[in-house]
Structure 1
């Protein structure tokens, strides 16, 4: 339960600490006294965004603090563990927010957290119902959520949602195939086909590009190359004083020297080897020069081939590898486009199979909802009888519809407030007082199985009064037997049913307005009930009436 709420420098609140107890905690006070500030502070602690305008005039910051004591902290601990925090120690959970002009500090058990963490904690800690929230009961999506929550159909809903997700993925693929303009597709196919064909016909390779560039360079310099080759050959074998003649003369001299110096044979052999080497080099030079095809035809072919490489790299990629990779990508795209009719048929067949599974899950969920609907109708009807609809009747209608995210069903809450009246959709009921009581009855039914420990009702009793107000108060007290319930009310009949009574008032001191919260005791409580009955000037009769309402 919520044990303590502390508020400092929030709007009209200077410094207030409020203690709550188990059962029905009622909060009363004149209009504008600041009752809703307590609920607003609690909303801040549960993840609502803060505005610096909330800070009390003249102050640098405002802060709100809540202390929860949880008899079963499993759901809260699951959230804390999921975000990497330690679970509650002994069920104690402390939430604090500090808001300044430029910053917003949020702490859970003294560890900083995000607003998203607060919202997740709020979902398992507190169910808040504001003065206009009963209108949400008219929303058929909300009605469906209520039915599913009452029937505890989470597992069946998740199973259906999984199949629906698969169904939608395939459907989106088919829609994408069907959405394209045929003329645009034909142009795209033609464009891709041209690119792919141009790359395929060119037969580009990294190795050939290097070879063509090298040969082109050789032929472009063929005249100089031949001249230099001839010069080398002349210097080695043909020109006057060439290396070959010198070596031959040296051999002749060494032939004579061998007769006088035996080791001269070795010198002779080395010279002979050099002669052979010179002859081989000359042959290589001559063959290389002779192999150069410097014909205009060859040069033209090389120019054209280099132009092909340069053109395709300029159009389709900076390197041959990139051109080849893009060609493969476009080839696959072309294949996909040409095979789209086949792909569409394949997807449609797959969709038909998935729909069978989806339909099976949807029908199973519908059957479970139909089984739950009669029970929910009966339970809410009983609650409505308790709060003034003596001859009222509540009904839940389920109709088939096309598959959607939440199932294959449309739901409609029906209500007949009085005997002899036809059942009408709840959304056609004009009276907000009637809708408020239907919401209370619904909350009362769900509360029996709801694990959320704290329920907050902000003026759920709006637009009701008299004996109906007493019935609403008794119903709230009944709900408070299994939940801590905090209720802001203007009805003395409801306030009298509370087990803890907090009175909110405001005062002006030194030109400043202050909101105060007082925990009423048995002596002061009749005065507040009397004020609610007859205004500021309580009479003996209103005080006596107040005591009677409190059973004193």
Structure 2
């Protein structure tokens, strides 16, 4: 249950703390006194977006604070554990929100959280029903959700959803294949085919590119290379005073010296080795120089090859590796485009198989809904009798429809408010008072099995009066036996059924308006009921009537 709600500097509220109890908590007060501000504050705590205009004039921030005391914390703890927080300690859950002109801070049990977390908590903590929410009952999607919730069909619905997601995913792929204009598709195929053929025809290789660049550089300098090689050979073996002649002369002298000086043999051997080295170097130089092909034809081929590499890198990638990788990608895309018809047919065959599983799951869900529909009709009809529709009848119609996210069924709530009247779709009922009571009846039915601890009704009794108002109040009190209810009401008949009564009023001090909330007791409560009965000027008659309504004699 919601134990405490604290509001500070929110609109007309200066600083208010409100305590709630189990059962039916009614909130009353003059129009404009600020009753809905409490509901608005609660909505902020449950994830509704804030606006700096909510801050009380003259203040820089506002805050709201709620304490929940939970007997069953399983659903809340699951959410907290999912976001890495500790579970509730002793069933206590504290939510705080501070709003400034530039920011918003949200805390759960003193740990910062996001608005999304608040919304998740709100879904398991509080069921909010505003003054216009009864119109949502006319929405067939909402009607379907009510039927499924009543029948506890979440598991069956989830099994259907799994198959539906598979079906839709295949359909998306088929739609994507069908989405392109055929002329555009042909142009795309031609474009990719040209790129792939150009790259494949070039037969590119990173190793070859390096080799071509090296040979191109060598041939471009062929004359200089040959001239320098010939010069080196001449200096070593040709011409007057060449190195080879000098070594030969030295070798002859050492041949004679060996006979006179034994250690000269080492010198002789070294000179002989040098002669051999010179000869080997010369042969190597001559061989390399002879291998240089400096023909114009070869040079032209190398120029063309380098141009091919440079052109393709400029068009398709900064490196040969990039060009080849892009070529493979485009080749794959080309294969996919050319294989669209085949892929489309494969997907259609696959979709047929998935549709069979989808249809089976949908029919199972429909069967479950049909079993639940009659029970829901009976339960809501019984609740409607309690709130003034003595001869009213509620019905649930289920009609087949193409597969959708929620199943293969369309739901239509039907209602006959009086004896002898034909059943009509609920959406064709003009009276908002009737729709409000049907909504209350469905809420009463769902509340018996709903795990949400707190239900909030903001003027659900709008456009209702007289004895019907008393019946609505008694029905709210009945629902409050298994849930905590917070109910804003203008009807004294409803207010009299509350177990806790809070009166909201506003006053003006020093030119400023303040909203106050008072917990009424046996002495002050009759006065508030009397005000609701007869206005500000209560008489002994209205006070007596109020005491009678409250059972205070």
Q: TM-score range by the shorter chain?
A: over 0.9
Greater Cα shift, 512-521 or 383-392: 512-521
Aligned 1:491-506 pairs, distance under 5 A: 491-506=491-506
Instruction: Report the CA distance between 1:372 and its aligned residue.
Output: 0.7
**2:161 corresponds to which residue?**
161
Q: For 1:61 and 1:220, how far apart are their aligned partners in 2?
A: 80
CA distance in 1, matches of 2:213, 2:379: 90
Residue correspondence of structure 1 range 178-217 to structure 2 within 5 A: 178-217=178-217
Q: Distance in 1 between matches of 2:325 and 2:318?
A: 11
1: CA distance between counterparts of 2:423 and 2:303? Answer: 91
Aligned to 1:262: 262
> What's the offset of the Cα at 1:106?
1.8
1:395 is aligned to 2:391: no
**Partners in 2 of 1:429 and 1:366 — Cα distance?**
27
Cα offsets for 1:385-424 (capped at 9, x unmatched): 1101111111111111111111111111111111111111
1:70 aligned residue? 70
Counterpart position of 1:383:
383
Long gaps (5+) in structure 2: none
Instruction: Name the stretch that deviates more: 22-31 or 504-513.
Output: 504-513
Q: TM-score by structure 2 length?
A: 0.98
After superposition, give the CA deviation of every residue in 1:18-74 in whole Å (9 maximum; x if it has no partner): 111111111111111111111111111111122222222222322221111111111
- Are 1:426 and 2:420 counterparts? no
Question: For 1:514 and 1:312, how far apart are their aligned partners in 2?
Answer: 78
Quote the offset at 1:228 in angstroms: 0.7
Structure 1 residue 135: Cα displacement? 0.3
Corresponding position of 2:29: 29
Question: TM-score, normalization: structure 1?
Answer: 0.98
- Say which SS state the counterpart of residue 391 (structure 2) adopts: coil
CA apart distance, 1:262? 2.4
Offset, 1:202? 0.9
Indicate the SS of the match to 1:211. Answer: helix
Residue 529 (str. 1) matches residue 526 (str. 2): no
- What is the aligned partner in structure 1 of residue 143 from structure 2? 143
Distance 1:509 1:200 in 2: 88
1:283-306 superposed Cα distances (whole Å, 9 cap, x missing partner): 111111111111111111111111
Q: Look up the match of 1:295.
A: 295
Following TM superposition, by how much is the alpha carbon of 1:139 offset from its aligned partner in structure 2, in angstroms? 0.6
Aligned pairs (5 A) from 1:461-500: 461-500=461-500
Structure 2 equivalent of residue 232 of structure 1: 232
Give the match for residue 357 of structure 2.
Answer: 357
The whole-number CA distance in structure 2 between the counterparts of 1:551 and 1:495 is 13
Measure the CA separation in 1 of the matches of 2:520 and 2:289. 117
SS where residue 44 of structure 1 aligns?
A: helix
Question: Which segment drifts farther, 8-17 or 332-341?
Answer: 8-17
Q: Paired residue for 2:124?
A: 124
Unaligned regions of 5+ residues in structure 1, if any? none
- Distance in 1 of aligned mates of 2:178 and 2:61: 58
Shift of 1:267: 2.2
Q: Which residue of 2 aligns with 1:246?
A: 246
Offset of residue 518 of structure 1: 1.2
Using the alignment, how far apart are the partners of 2:42 and 2:297 within structure 1? 91
Secondary structure at 1:258's aligned position in 2? Answer: helix
Shift, 1:326, TM fit = 0.9
**Stretch of structure 1 that moved more, 528-537 or 384-393:** 528-537
State the alpha-carbon separation in 1 of the partners of residues 148 and 383 from structure 2.
Answer: 19
Q: Distance in 1 between matches of 2:441 and 2:368?
A: 22
The corresponding residue for 1:58 is 58
Cα RMSD after superposing both structures: 1.2
Query: What per-residue deviation string (whole Å, max 9, x for no partner) do you get for residues 118-166 of structure 1?
Result: 1111111111100000000001111111111111111111111111111
For residues 391 and 337 of structure 1, what CA distance do their matches in structure 2 show? Answer: 66
Q: For residues 46 and 95 of structure 1, what CA distance do their matches in structure 2 show?
A: 9
> How far apart in 2 are the matches of 1:528 and 1:110?
38
- Give me the whole-angstrom Cα distance separating, in 1, the residues matched to 2:418 and 2:457: 26
Instruction: Find the aligned partners of 1:6 and 1:310 in 2 and give their Cα distance.
Output: 74
Kindly provide the CA deviation profile for residues 519-538 of structure 1, in whole angstroms up to 9, marking residues without a partner as x. Answer: 11112211111111111122
Change beyond 3 A, Cα 1:194–1:103: closer
**After the TM superposition, which of the residue ranges 263-272 and 458-467 deviates more from structure 2?**
263-272
Q: Secondary structure of the residue that 1:6 maps to in structure 2?
A: strand
Supply the distance in 2 between the matched residues of 1:97 and 1:295 (Cα, whole angstroms).
86
- In structure 2, what is the Cα distance between the partners aligned to 1:212 and 1:16? 86
Aligned positions, number:
552
Q: Could you tell which deviates more after superposition, 502-511 or 86-95? A: 502-511
Q: 2:327 maps to which residue?
A: 327
Deviates more, 1:9-18 or 1:317-326: 9-18
Q: Distance in 2 between matches of 1:229 and 1:322?
A: 40
Q: Deviations for 1:79-110, whole angstroms, at most 9, x for unmatched residues?
A: 11111111111111111222222332222222
